[in-house]
Structure 1
């Protein structure tokens, strides 16, 4: 299904993933070694859909550009998108929504890395035959995305499918019996 002219755009809502990881999974601010390995997300997209992936990493910069992080993103193949706006303005959400809308005029595929339901309508509009995916944490993914699976949306878990973490996260999930390994519980 790969087309030599197609690209998979990987749109990362870093704030949402970081907030979910820290607030819902770890219960504290994640350390650098506990955050996703963003290079693995790009690699997953390329291998999964057998075509080049272009990562766009959206950040709320608000007059402060985290240069070390930006340089690291560039080094692993992302294009950082630092944004600012008025106080209380959800600049990352606005930029991702606009990018998803702009992609409607292109034939490229999309993987959104976010659990945020603010993007459900734009993702729905992209389900026109192209490959569209959402990656995040299944137990925190907005239920609106699940309703789009029947229309062709593919969903990926950052830990279990993408394998974006170096160490297992302290998550409780429903385990399909064919994936159950009692050794994980007999420590």
Structure 2
């Protein structure tokens, strides 16, 4: 992945108002279908997604400065063009064992209000454009009733023969929802 050119393609083309992009013409009919855009990435060989409107950019792995006495999934901070950004290991936050980083590992910078938080992911795959029929609320088990996810999975999506677990970014990043971002 060429990060410099793909940052615009992935994060820059999202609709500013939320997950749903402008409608597009369906190939077989004259009807317009709303589509939602999600950045799809892998963690522990599983495909996850986040609302593309929350993605600021994707950067290569870089030096992460650890913070003493932090939680194991809190890897530390990075200096991103003069902005200090906390970084979490998404793999560990989701309950998987730590793994070494490779050339595909990258940091997805998430924007929530004025905050920026980096999520280390194993690889970025694509931007999936999904219709409402391809997205469903996560079943009760995935919402934390008896599974490790602890409510971190908000929706399950399927498109093109693939299944994506859409993360509730507020739960994953342990952020407080405000009335503006509910």
TM-score by length of 1: 0.24
Q: Higher strand proportion, which one?
A: 2
Higher relative contact order (CA 8 A, sep 6+): 1
